[in-house]
Amino acid sequence: AQSVTQLGSHVSVSEGALVLLRCNYSSSVPPYLFWYVQYPNQGLQLLLKYTSAATLVKGINGFEAEFKKSETSFHLTKPSAHMSDAAEYFCAVTGGTSYGKLTFGQGTILTVHP
Amino acid sequence: KAGVTQTPRYLIKTRGQQVTLSCSPISGHRSVSWYQQTPGQGLQFLFEYFSETQRNKGNFPGRFSGRQFSNSRSEMNVSTLELGDSALYLCASSSGTSGGSTDTQYFGPGTRLTVL
């Protein structure tokens, strides 16, 4: 079984500040991890993915995430927040024989203040 | 390359009715997954189809069903609608070439279903 916990359902930052969204996972098989972003009334857009090739993963729009097996974490960061980053962010895990199944966290709503 | 498309984008139904939602995957993708998104339960996996076969299924009642056609397009059906079925239904496609579960999923815009 797999699960994801996103710490903090709401995160608020000022424009230009560091963005840190936390994700911890549980998996009995080697995990593949993803971060998606969802803007209002839209589907999910892939930000980045970890597939065991490198522990530090760079994604779109300046986001990156680091896979830490010892901490079972996959936190998302961005050095400088932009107003356009305001959205809901989802961490997801898959692996093994979970054909086509992503297990998502509950999501974190990011608010960016001017 | 065109993305995942879902039709219709919005639906309003009444309790007891049935509904069919459609999903066209990215060209060349053979795997289609369906998810239900609600404020209370978040994103939950419904089922996945690959080459017209259901390979995986989530914990939803039998009222939720799906199928996939030879061109990889997929439909999901919900019979005897309940108020709690009101949700955003998302479809995602992946290439399916890895043969396993690790392909990246690309999502459509969703169908917003409201049950009155």
* B69-73 LR contacts (CB < 8 Å, sep 24+): B72/B25, B72/B29, B72/B30, B72/B32, B73/B22, B73/B23, B73/B24, B73/B25
Residue B99 is predicted with a pLDDT of 60
Report chain B residues whose CB lies below 8 A from the CB of A96: 100-101
Percent of chain A with pLDDT over 90: 82
**Has residue B63 got a pLDDT over 80?**
yes
Q: Is residue B101 very low, low, confident or very high in pLDDT (cuts 50, 70, 90)?
A: low
Report chain A residues whose CB lies below 8 A from the CB of B43: 90, 102, 104, 107
Report pLDDT digits (tens) over A50-82.
988 789 999 999 999 999 999 999 999 999 999
Report chain B residues whose CB lies below 8 A from the CB of A43: 4, 90, 107-110
Mean pLDDT of B50-58: 93
**Has residue B46 got a pLDDT over 90?**
yes
